[in-house]
Amino acid sequence: MLNSTVVRVPKAGEMIAAHLRRQIVTGELREGDALMSESELMEQFGVSRPTLREAFRILESEQIIQIRRGARGGARVLLPDIDVAARYAGTLLQYRKTTLADVHEARVQLEAAAVAILARKRSAADLRRLDAMVAEGERVLDDPVAFGRLYDLEFHRLLMELAGNQTMIVLLDILYSIIAGQVEKFVHENRGDPGVESTASTAHRAHVKLVQLIRDKNPDKAVAFWRSHLTQVKEFMMKSPEESVLDVLQ
């Protein structure tokens, strides 16, 4: 019996986009570099202007090139942006009716794994960076809004960076981008609430304790403590987490 599966052949524009995308992600083309002129690229790939512009539209929609119009226009390379991936991921999660609790639980699992790695392998240089970050948190402690916007998320990102797993870093950055919008909304809606104002001090004390557990190379206690802290943060921010559906389009 013949197999009726149809193999889709990529269009010429998609193939050109794939070629240019590979040059960008491998570093052959760097941020700010100008692509060759349309006429040069048409000659190189042996395609028409509409086909080349189809490739440009694909790459522009992915936000890895920017098209400038006019006499000094043309296509320039942009770095891949985590916010673009976060928007796609957030839209997909919202389509699936994903709850905020679900997103936060994924964050808990990934951060706990990162903390375990870091507590086992931390170096003196890692500790210096953590100490400097904690000191920065103390500096902005009197301003809960600045603490949340300028420091808190960076502390979490530093944990991931020092753990060193690139895949986990990307996945968590996507989650952070999604969660950041929810945190911003929560802070705005509860501005002036004494309970919210005190969360900065509570979070900072948790950061100090976690750094000490990492310094002590105690992964089990560090993971248990950090799971508990992140769970408390989730429960504080969501009154009915099982009913709070993620909304990235607000």
Question: Of 31-35, 76-80, 144-148, which range is least confident?
Answer: 144-148
Count of the separate structural domains present in the chain:
2
For residues 104 and 224, membership in a common domain is answered with yes
What was the pLDDT predicted at 1?
47
pLDDT band at 245 (very low <50, low <70, confident <90, very high): low
Q: Coil, strand, or helix at residue 1? A: coil
Question: Of 6-15, 113-122, 229-238, which range is least confident?
Answer: 6-15
Q: What mean pLDDT value characterizes the chain?
A: 86
- CA dist list (Å): 115 to 39, 101, 170, 173: 52, 21, 16, 16
For residues 49 and 147, membership in a common domain is answered with no
What was the pLDDT predicted at 156?
93
**CATH number of the domain within which 27 lies:** 1.10.10.10
Q: With a cut of 60, say whether residue 250 has pLDDT above it.
A: no
In a domain, 122, yes or no: yes
In a domain, 249, yes or no: no
Torsion of CA 139, 142, 147, 148, to 10 degrees: 170
Q: How far apart are the first and last CA of the chain?
A: 52
Q: With a cut of 60, say whether residue 4 has pLDDT above it.
A: no
In a domain, 1, yes or no: no
pLDDT band at 71 (very low <50, low <70, confident <90, very high): low
Residues whose CB is less than 8 angstroms from the CB of residue 162 and which lie 6 or more positions away in sequence, other chains included = 118, 122, 126, 129, 130
User: Which residues constitute the domain of residue 33?
Assistant: 12-77
Task: Find out whether 73 and 219 touch, Cβ atoms under 8 Å.
Answer: no
**What region, left, alpha or beta, does residue 15 occupy, with left being phi > 0 and alpha being psi -120 to 50 degrees?**
alpha
For residues 26 and 113, membership in a common domain is answered with no
For residues 224 and 207, membership in a common domain is answered with yes
For residues 89 and 72, membership in a common domain is answered with no
Residue 135 is encoded by which pair of tokens? 């000191």
For residues 161 and 59, membership in a common domain is answered with no
In a domain, 245, yes or no: no
| Domain final residue pick, 47, 77, 107 | 77
For residues 141 and 205, membership in a common domain is answered with yes
pLDDT, mean of residues 161-169: 93
